Amino acid sequence: MNQFKVPVDLLMSNMAQGVRKARTRARKASEVLLDTLETALSQTPYEVVYQEDRVKLKHYMARKPSGYKTPLLVVYALINRETMLDLQPGRSVVERFLDEGIDLYMIDWGYPKRKDRFQGFDDHINGYMNNVVDFIREKHKVDKINLMGICMGGSFSVMYSALYPEKIKNLVTTVTPTNFNTDKGLLHIWMKSVDVDAVVDTYGNLSGDIMNLGFLLLNPARLMIDKYVGFAEHMDNKNFVENFIRMEKWIFDSPDLPGEVFREFIKECYQQNKLIQSRLEVGGKRVDLKKITMPVINFYGKFDHLVPPEACDQLTRHVGSRDTEDVCLNTGHIGIYVSSKCQDAFAPKIATWLKERDGGPATGDTQAKSGRKSAGPKFKKAKKSLAAAAPSDMEPNRRNRAV
């Protein structure tokens, strides 16, 4: 019987080779981490053309003569920051739009303070968003603008388009939750049972740090272990390290969420699913999705663990528009905007889609159907600064609510 022989020489050789590789990687990693790193976000030049309280409107100038008659307004979520669309040169949705000749505006919701805790859907949609849209319409002398919403900002954009169809020419929604009656995704399961009144009445605004902890717990193995193991394995690669730090800076730059917005979003949407059923009311007006008669293109990610396809793909069946399109990309919640493989399937697709609908009147135009006279540009002056109106940041603004 032959005895099993351990290839000691081969094992020792492999161990020695592994040690040499580890030593070389450690030396290179030290050089990378001690070198100057380029990790700045949002480097594309812009100017703030409108401000109301904490809310700013960024304007990005097109990089070539605009072939578009209609400007585009992007509305990001109140969670995290809109800088995700402009993470770095060469990997930027903003750059792609500007290269296509789109005149681009983007809302920066800012960082809510304690005095903003009483601001809900009505304040953000009938207040800030409507004033921003009117400002752009007035500036460009147009009746309608194009609107693009992202995640919660997409939900806001759907609500706005249903309430003000006469001001929106084309609607673009991306990873936008509209159907909350699904158990796909742990977030939907958690939100159905959370006592949101207890949370908001106790803490006021929802802390950005608490939200980040919740998002990490949705997939702790990948987001708290795998990600940092991957960093350790590639920290001798300067480009990888810079990209990693940019993403970490964006992830943990989390503003607090106004308490009333959180309360309404959870109760009205996650727990009662009113939006997709056209039962939601904002400022006393029903959000009837059948009034969304402008063209709609709806993007979502096949592997999105925060807003799964089941939460997105019913929108186009419930709107009144006859010109709709769903686009499902093989990526996750953030990958649609930052993944290199999605760069050509996302922003250029939107630019082409808008271009095709930029010339003539919008399909199924509400004004054409109803014969209603256009409201025309009627920009209201910015409301009085809430900060100036309140002697301290503890005073409620816009709406008093007992807590």
Residue 4: its pLDDT value, please?
Answer: 66
CA atoms within 13 A of residue 24's CA, in its CB half-sphere: 6
CA dihedral 263, 403, 78, 116 (to 10 degrees): 150
Query: Do the beta carbons of residue 293 and residue 366 sit within 8 Å?
Result: yes
30, 47, 124, 275, 360 from 27: Cα distances, Å: 5, 42, 51, 55, 61
pLDDT per residue of the chain (403 residues) written in tens, 0 to 9: 566 676 788 888 888 888 888 888 888 888 888 889 999 999 999 999 999 999 999 999 877 777 788 999 999 999 989 999 999 888 899 999 999 999 999 999 999 999 999 999 999 999 999 999 999 999 999 999 999 999 999 999 999 999 999 999 999 999 999 999 998 888 888 998 899 999 999 999 999 999 988 888 888 888 888 889 999 889 899 999 999 999 999 999 999 999 999 999 999 999 999 999 999 999 999 999 999 999 999 999 999 999 999 999 999 999 999 999 999 999 999 888 988 777 778 999 999 999 999 874 444 343 333 333 333 344 444 443 333 333 333 333 333 332 2
Q: Is 333 helix (H, G, I), strand (E, B) or coil?
A: coil
Q: Any idea which residue has 């703030």 for tokens?
A: 48
Quote the distance between the C-alpha of residue 181 and its chain's center: 21
CA 177 – CA 170 distance, rounded (Å): 18
Residue 167 and residue 140: Cα distance in Å, rounded?
A: 13
Is residue 154 within 8 Å of residue 174, measured between CB atoms? yes
Beta bridge partners of 149: 75, 173
CB 283 within 8 A of CB 120: no
pLDDT for position 2 = 63
Helix (H) and strand (E) counts in the chain: 18, 10
- Distance (Å, whole) CA 195 – CA 217: 18
SS3 240: helix
Rg of the chain taking only CA atoms, in angstroms? 24
Structure confidence at residue 1 (pLDDT): 56
Which parts of 204-258 fold into alpha helices (H)? 208-217, 220-221, 227-234, 238-251
Backbone angles phi, psi at 213, to 5 degrees: -60, -40
Cβ–Cβ < 8 Å for 159, 176: no
**pTM of this structure:** 0.84
* Cα torsion angle, 329, 332, 334, 335, sign: negative
Determine how many CB atoms are found less than 10 A away from the CB of residue 217: 12
Distance, first Cα to last Cα, the chain: 83
Burial class of residue 237 in the structure, from the number of CB atoms within 10 Å of its CB (0-12 exposed, 13-18 middle, 19+ buried) = middle
| Residue numbers annotated as active site | 151
- Whole-number pLDDT of residue 166: 98
| Tokens standing for residue 234 | 């590639």
State residue 76's pLDDT score: 97
Measured CA to CA, the distance from residue 334 to residue 73 in angstroms comes to: 20
